[in-house]
Amino acid sequence: MKAGPIHYLIYPAVVCFSLGLYAYSLFTGVALATGAFGSVVVGALLIAAFELITPYDQSWTPRPRDVWNDFLFMAVIQVAVPRLIGLLLAVSLAERVGRAAPLSGLWPHEWPMFAQTMLLIVTADFMRYWLHRAAHTLPILWRLHAVHHSPDRLYWLNTSRFHPIEKVLQFALDSLPFILMGVSPEILGFWFVLYSVNGFFQHSNIRLEFGLLSKIFSTAEMHRWHHSQTPAESNTNYANVFILWDRFFGTYFRPLARRVGDLGLVYVSYPMEFGAQMKAPFDGKLYK
């Protein structure tokens, strides 16, 4: 079936709506954490609905055990541990530190809020690119990151599959440096909403068309190849938001003549259950 206007509009419409909802929550005085989490939840629900309306691949429909384990990852790893605690910690620290932050002089506090937000998003995404790339090249980091690559099908909820130690490393790069520079918590919230909703889209099982957006943003078209079972294909497209990093540093991959094949890991004995994956990075026998 030929792509229609809806397939081009889903991604920009949901991302803009989520960011707009967060901005509106700030304008109306809603608590920052509530506004940020609420905007992400709304974005996630819309993405889940579009998976039902216009799926990309019917064979990627999650099994009941996938949904259960991915729900545990979302509840424990993405919300309870680093996202809820991490965001609240980031907000609390940012509010307490403010202009008195030890590295405050490195941040252009006099810039308009929009310009500061764009600077944070570009800088944080740049650092996340290099962390992600290192997670595929350094064995000690790959053992942590393999948890994220374990699913053999993609859908919105399994973007949450991360080992908690890796989430701590991500927080140390994309939030803590900006807190130490005294960046306002409202600006940190924009980054949180953008990378969360974009991450759901990267894993989504939605038929999407991106047009010119795919030349700038790290969309599902590229990220599906990043989850290929073939290492030469999965060791590409590391960017979280801007695919420009992969273009600049030679890790861009997007074949147009075929669709991605098998997904997941080549390790035949790699566990899929939540509890087992918490221990997997420390079992060297799994990676042979």
Stated pTM of the model: 0.91
Residue 269 pLDDT > 70, yes or no?
yes
Of 264, 243, 245, whose CA–CA distance to 66 is shortest?
264
pLDDT for position 99: 56
pLDDT for position 86: 52
Residue 78 pLDDT > 70, yes or no?
no
80 within 8 A of 150, measured Cβ to Cβ: no
Which whole number is the average pLDDT over 51-59? 95
Q: Where are the domains of the chain?
A: 5-287
How many residues are recorded in the chain?
Answer: 288
Give the confidence band of 256 by pLDDT, cuts at 50, 70, 90: confident
Name residue, tokens 């924009």: 190
- Tell me what the pLDDT averaged over the chain comes to: 89
Q: How far, in Å, are 55, 69, 78, 270 from residue 66 at the CA level?
A: 17, 5, 16, 15
